[in-house]
Structure 1
Amino acid sequence: MGTGVPLLLVEDDRQLAAMLEQILSGEGYDVDVAPDGQRGLHLGLTRRYDVLVLDRGLPAIEGLDLLARLRSRGVQTPALVLSALGNPADRVAGLDAGAEDYMSKPFDLDELAARLRALRRRNHDEATTIRVPGGSLDVGSREVALSSGASVSLTERESALLEELARRPRQVFSRPDLLDRVFPDAEDEGVVDTYVYYLRRKLGRASVSTVRGAGYRLGDA
């Protein structure tokens, strides 16, 4: 991934996907393109994105089924569905499947860009506070407000690790995954264990669960 806003585009029309990738890259997005639902599911579960753009009529896994699978695995990234199916019942089905927005093909490119900006703003406003075991994490201040009324200050890396786990509370992260996502400048997977220890020392052992032979996930998820 580059330095832009990470976006996953799942679209099987190669010509349309190439055009959207070029236009969205010009809007400041770092676009990953998946040509089918299976690849989209893999990327959606293994990488972190700020927004998803999904077609419905996809090979391997249909678009709304893909979105439902991502939501069931704890991926709450805001999603916009682009589809030739545009009657009211289709829109309702898309929103009920977990999409935040729905646009019919053909669509206006400027309107698409504006809707994606609105999704990002809305998600940013909602994501400043994230539920964690025993309280909530304020991402900006790196403070955990405990249900007891006390607050705990985290370091930048402690907060980044807790946020990564909390964004996908049902997902089990391997040590290599967390090393890549949270500690990209480190090489030793032991740094992950070290910061899990730090979080448990500050927030209690139940804050992070160990899944034997697999890795870590948010505690009490």
Structure 2
Amino acid sequence: MDPVAQLLVVEDDPQLATMLTELLTGEGYAVELARDGQRGLHLGLTRDFDLMLLDRGLPAIEGLDLLTRLRARGRHVPTLVLSALGQPSDRVDGLDAGAEDYLGKPFDVDELLARLRGLLRRPQDHVDVLRVPGGELDISSRSVATPSGEVTLSEREAKLLCALARSPRRVFSRQELLESVFESAEDEGVVDTYVHYLRRKLHRGVVATVRGLGYRLGNL
């Protein structure tokens, strides 16, 4: 007998949350519901799920911010974003943040279930190596293989580079990086400091500055 798939539903609308829980439970899934982003982040960091169904307009922590924080912490549960923000640019933002699929509201129930089945059938590769400008980042060893040799990063340097590399087209504000990577009450200047460290250890183009907005991964 196949094991029951574990689903995390992060949705703040009471009626929709109840409907999704009843629908997915009726389909044979084990469902854990989080009604705000903070609870969703906690469950995503402390429990293992086969799939996450994620709203965007959440209290406490916005949906894509939640997803970015999970990816930065090495949590790679396949995610379908379910949102009223359904324009092409919104879908691009969701996919760039690390979601595997994106469905706008209102949605067709049969299509939602088919997309969930598709994600659960997809082989899940736990990526240990990420492409970065001028080399490859090995997450487990915190080292970057470059044409001139291997460069070892500190834990914080590696976490920062990993967060940028998982969403290479996304621009992260300093506050986003401070919360998702450093998890502390330090000043945003610590982000600038570690960007400087990465550039010094690797090369200046590894992290690009987007004036007035923040940072993104340099051009691959």
- In structure 2, the residue matched to 1:137 is 137
Q: Provide the C-alpha distance between the structure 2 equivalents of 1:219 and 1:152, rounded to a whole number of angstroms.
A: 17
Counterpart pick for 1:39 among 30, 50, 57? 57
Q: 1:83 to 1:69 in 2, by over 3 A?
A: farther
How many angstroms does 1:171 deviate by? 1.1
Deviating more after overlay: 163-172 vs 77-86: 77-86
- What SS does the aligned partner of 1:14 have? helix
Give the direction of change, closer, same or farther, for the CA distance of 1:158–1:168 in structure 2 (3 Å limit): same
Letter in 2 for 1:15: T
Number of residues of Structure 1 aligned to a counterpart in Structure 2:
182
Partner in structure 2 of residue 193 of structure 1: 192
Judge which range, 196-205 or 45-54, deviates more: 45-54
Partner of 2:172 in structure 1?
173
Q: Is the 8 A contact 2:53 2:79 kept in 1?
A: no
- For 1:132 and 1:8, the matched residues in 2 are separated by 32
Are 2:76 and 1:53 equivalent residues in the alignment? Answer: no
Post-superposition offset of 1:217: 0.9
TM-score scaled by structure 2?
0.64
Contact 1:8–1:52 (CA under 8 A) maintained in structure 2: no
> Shift of residue 122 of structure 1?
1.4
Q: Is the 8 A contact 1:7 1:52 kept in 2?
A: no
Q: Deviations over 1:92-134 (max 9, x none)?
A: xxxxxxxxxx7439x9xxxx6x964x65x7131xx21111000
C-alpha change, 1:59 and 1:212, in structure 2 (3 Å) is closer
From 15, 19, 27, give the equivalent of 2:18: 15
Q: 2 CA distance for matches of 1:215 and 1:176?
A: 9
Distance 1:115 1:209, change over 3 A: closer
CA distance in 1, matches of 2:157, 2:125: 22
The CA distance in 2 between the partners of 1:84 and 1:6, in whole Å, is: 16
Deviation at 1:174, TM superposition (A): 1.0
Q: How far apart in 2 are the matches of 1:202 and 1:217?
A: 17
Structure 2 residue 218 is matched with structure 1 residue 215: no
Q: For the residues of structure 2 that align with 1:6 and 1:69, how far apart are their CA atoms? A: 23
Residue type of the alignment partner of 1:84? V
**Structure 1 alignment gaps of length 5 or more:** 87-101
The one of 98, 101, 104 equivalent to 2:114 is: 104
Equivalent pair of 1:133/1:220 in contact (CA under 8 Å)? yes
- 1:77 equivalent in structure 2: 99
Q: Displacement of 1:211 after TM fit?
A: 1.2
**How far apart, in 2, do the equivalents of 1:187 and 1:65 lie?**
33
Task: Please give the secondary structure, in 2, of the residue aligned with 1:17.
Answer: helix
Percent identical residues: 35
- Could you tell which deviates more after superposition, 23-32 or 197-206? 23-32
Shift of residue 85, structure 1, vs aligned partner? 4.2
Give 2:114's aligned amino acid.
S
Whole-angstrom distance in 2 between the partners of 1:68 and 1:164: 18
Q: CA deviation at 1:153?
A: 0.6
